[in-house]
Homo-oligomer: A and B are copies of this chain.
Amino acid sequence: MSHVYRLIISCPDQVGIVAEVASLIAQHGGTIVEANHHTDSAKGWFFMRHEILASSLKNGVEAFQADFAQLAEQFEMQWQLNDSAKPKKIALFASKESHCLADLLYRWHEQDLPGEIVCVIANHPDLEEMAKWYQVPFHYVPVTPENKPQAFAEAEALVQQYAADVIVLARYMQILPPQMCADFAGRVINIHHSFLPSFVGAKPYHQAYERGVKLIGATCHYVTEVLDAGPIIEQDVIRVSHAHTVEDLKRLGRDVEKTVLARGLRHHLEDRVLIHGNKTVVFSV
């Protein structure tokens, strides 16, 4: 993968944005490797993502950044300029079920995940050996009805300590306190084991079995205060039939869950996801 800067922009829509941005990039000699735009006509909002070859910026990235800041002010842009050479740091939150954790650790180990897993924080000790094999620090932070505030304070302190950029709830099965949701807004990713908004909350496979649906699914979304209601990043489904028990649904669903989480997380790590209100723009390849 080439060394690039990722320029992510969202702002009120108006004529000339693309031209101004493209001209500035060109003035700095920037080679655009990938470019995506989206206009939300209904809301009058504009979204843009560029990958600029790092080596092509003839005066360096700081000079570009300084010039861009002026442009951004003019167009009231929310923006980021991220360096692909500084991959985002990931804190994995887990419980007892290993499939999502194992999948992400494996992908990272194979250099197939464009981020860095810095720690595993789990409310059960079961998955310690797995984390160890991948040489990732494992922290056992049990959560009980009594110790919730302290437990989450401890977890949050660990996240700060590891300077994690993103928290991934890899089937963590605990509800984060509202304050933590607010503190890490847009930086906590969950995998829910249903095709949301169907089957919110507990035991979605049981709910799916009872309803007799012919497809089951999984949803990767940002966590907000409202349970299973945050902006959706990615979803997928798999066909099932009357012949499948709840156990079968769980087994088949695990493959969907881990794939959907890995895809959604990948999008986030590559700065392809722009949140606007309760929805996402995903500039996937």
Contact = CB atoms under 8 A, between A and B. Distances in A.
Interface of A: 15-16, 18-23, 25-27, 29-42, 56, 98-99, 102, 106, 110, 112, 133, 195-199, 211-215, 217, 231-237, 241-245, 248, 251, 254-255, 259, 278-282, 284-285
B110 A285 contact: no
Contacts of A20: 26
Contacts of A112: 251, 254
A137 to B, nearest CB: 18
A38 B231 contact: no
Copies in the complex: 4
A198 B229 CA distance: 13
26 contacts: A16-B26, A18-B22, A18-B25, A18-B32, A19-B19, A19-B26, A19-B27, A38-B242, A42-B245, A98-B110, A99-B110, A102-B106, A106-B106, A112-B254, A195-B198, A196-B198, A197-B198, A211-B279, A212-B232, A214-B282, A215-B217, A215-B235, A237-B237, A243-B285, A244-B285, A255-B259
Nearest to A35: B37
Given A212-B231, A236-B215, A285-B243, A26 B18 contact: yes
A256 to B, nearest CB: 10
A232 B209 CA distance: 12
B18 A212 contact: no
Contacts of A285: 241, 243-244, 248
Contacts of A282: 214, 241-242
Contacts of A26: 15-16, 18-20
A40 B38 CA distance: 22
A41 B31 CA distance: 12
Nearest to A103: B106
By CB atoms of chain B within 10 A, which of A56, A98, A212, A234 has the most? Answer: A212
B15 A30 contact: yes
A5 B38 CA distance: 17
A213 B235 contact: yes
Contact of A214 (B56, B102, B232): B232
Given A19-B27, A112-B251, A212-B279, 20 more contacts: A15-B31, A18-B25, A19-B26, A22-B22, A34-B243, A35-B35, A38-B243, A40-B242, A42-B245, A106-B106, A195-B195, A196-B198, A196-B211, A198-B198, A212-B232, A212-B278, A214-B233, A242-B281, A243-B285, A248-B285
